[in-house]
Amino acid sequence: MSKYSIFTLARNAFSQHENWPEAWRSPEPRPEYDAVIIGGGGHGLATAYYLAKEHGLTNVAVLEKGWIGGGNTGRNTTIVRSNYLFDASAHLYEHALKLWEGLSQELNYNVMFSQRGVMNLAHDQHEARDLKRRVHANRLNGIDSEWLDREQVLDFCPVINSDPDIRFPIVGATLQRRGGTARHDAVAWGYARGADARGVDIIQNCEVTGFLIEGGAVKGVETTRGTIRTGKVGMVAAGHTSVLADLAGFRLPLESHPLQALVSEPVKPVLDTVVMSNAVHAYVSQSDKGELVIGAGIDGYVSYSQRGGFAIIEETLAAIVEIFPIFSRMRMLRQWGGIVDVAPDASAIISRTPVDGLYVNCGWGTGGFKATPGSGHVFAHLVATGQPNALAAPFALDRFSSGELVAEHGAAAVAH
């Protein structure tokens, strides 16, 4: 029987919740590990989980400067889909989507993956042509993807404005029925618990402040909790990756931008799918608590501020209210920002670096939550073996010198 049974619930309710077993340990850092992962977001924790589970590497530490899931993992709007344009991305995101479909069972932790469908709206013929091309490309890659005409969109999601004379009229939409949303914290917590159970040390409040590099190879990291020696380091720090690369003595083709989201007061169920509009860089879904979860495009300036500018969300809400007049009197409860790391081709970087033994997983920009299980899975392979697997190979750093970019600005769907 699970240690979290109904009896545990009752016992802890009567003891003022004092005796809950910890879901993962809080160990002191050891002086040496076989591998160190920098960043306790979903990607870093998933990497550690698969390192332990699939590669037998259990003497591993995840170093997190704040609390796990406190970065973009806990700040995103949780949209999961795999309808990317190019083969390399479609395969990587579809790998992730397949892992999402079994993740609650895999982790024995309910990540609340809800396949409620993701629609990408077209507001003019140009967008419609572009999105239909994506539907065809997806199908050639075996990914479920449909084109809905205007009537089908309004039938599928009746709360969308049917007026053809608005600023953003509905022309049609793509629909990926297997897409949806998941509970972001649960993803971090589920991977953390699973990694911890296999022996991984998850160390919070531990910032990496420098690297030990000898003869061009990594030998360890300096942290706010002391020096840790290791021959393998995976850098999975999202918006702060360029800061870490600087500490290691090289540059990455990344810009860090704020990306904002906000939630409304809770209301009864009214929206049972995810709606995205590439033209206005707005997206909305309804959480299980009833809140509307709304996101914007990136703030155009480079910044490490986890807030963002008011003008961006004002513009997003103006578009949302036009597309969904039914939401016009709802009050917004909370707004926040995350720092997203954007590569020139709007695709991830999963790669070796100029320093031997130091690997990087970054550049997920506005769209990495959906990749979390797949990203951790392929990055664990790279860290464990030193070689990218077939899914990760197209995302290496050398594409920026060879010119073999994976240009996903369109399918990224949110302003990059």
Binding site for ligand PYC (CB under 6 A): 77, 79, 81, 283, 295, 366-367, 412-414
Of residues 184 and 399, the one with the C-beta less far from ligand FAD? 184
Of residues 194 and 367, the one with the C-beta less far from ligand PYC? 367
CA atoms within 13 A on the CB side of 193: 15
Q: Which residues bind ligand FAD (CB under 6 A)?
A: 38-44, 63-66, 70-73, 75-79, 207-208, 236-238, 240, 244, 259-261, 295, 338, 340, 364, 366-370
Of residues 191 and 364, the one with the C-beta less far from ligand PYC? 364
The whole-angstrom separation of Cα 182 and Cα 115 is 9
The whole-angstrom separation of Cα 221 and Cα 236 is 14
Give 191's strand partners: none
83 binds, among ligand PYC, ligand FAD, none (CB under 5 to 8 A by kind): none
Token pair 């009197």 in the structure block, residue: 329
At position 329, the amino acid (one-letter code) is R
* Three-point CA angle 231, 236, 240, nearest 5°: 115
Cβ neighbours for 214, distance < 8 A, ≥ 6 positions apart: none
Of residues 295 and 410, the one with the C-beta less far from ligand PYC? 295
* Three-point CA angle 219, 390, 230, nearest 5°: 10
At position 267, the amino acid (one-letter code) is V
40 binds, among ligand FAD, ligand PYC, none (CB under 5 to 8 A by kind): ligand FAD
Q: What is the smallest separation between the CB atom of 16 and ligand FAD, expressed in angstroms?
A: 30
What six digits make up the tokens of 346?
Answer: 């709007």
343 binds, among ligand PYC, ligand FAD, none (CB under 5 to 8 A by kind): none
Of residues 81 and 95, the one with the C-beta less far from ligand PYC? 81
Q: What is the smallest separation between the CB atom of 414 and ligand FAD, expressed in angstroms?
A: 7
> Beta-strand (E) ranges in 230-277?
233-235, 255-266, 274-277
Q: What's the gap between Cα 256 and its chain centre?
A: 15
39 binds, among ligand FAD, ligand PYC, none (CB under 5 to 8 A by kind): ligand FAD
413 binds, among ligand FAD, ligand PYC, none (CB under 5 to 8 A by kind): ligand PYC
Q: What is the smallest separation between the CB atom of 107 and ligand PYC, expressed in angstroms?
A: 22
Token pair 């190879």 in the structure block, residue: 217
Question: H or E element: which one contains 132?
Answer: helix 125-140
Closest listed residue to residue 156, CA positions, set 206, 121, 107: 121
Of residues 38 and 128, the one with the C-beta less far from ligand FAD? 38
Of residues 23 and 407, the one with the C-beta less far from ligand PYC? 407
- State the DSSP code for 168: S
Q: Which residue is nearest to ligand PYC (CB)?
A: 367
Q: What is the smallest separation between the CB atom of 77 and ligand PYC, expressed in angstroms?
A: 5
Q: What is the smallest separation between the CB atom of 350 and ligand FAD, expressed in angstroms?
A: 11
The whole-angstrom separation of Cα 248 and Cα 209 is 10
Q: What is the smallest separation between the CB atom of 277 and ligand PYC, expressed in angstroms?
A: 11
Q: What is the smallest separation between the CB atom of 280 and ligand PYC, expressed in angstroms?
A: 12
Q: For the chain, how are helix, strand and coil distributed in percent, rounded to 5?
A: 35, 25, 40
Of residues 40 and 388, the one with the C-beta less far from ligand FAD? 40
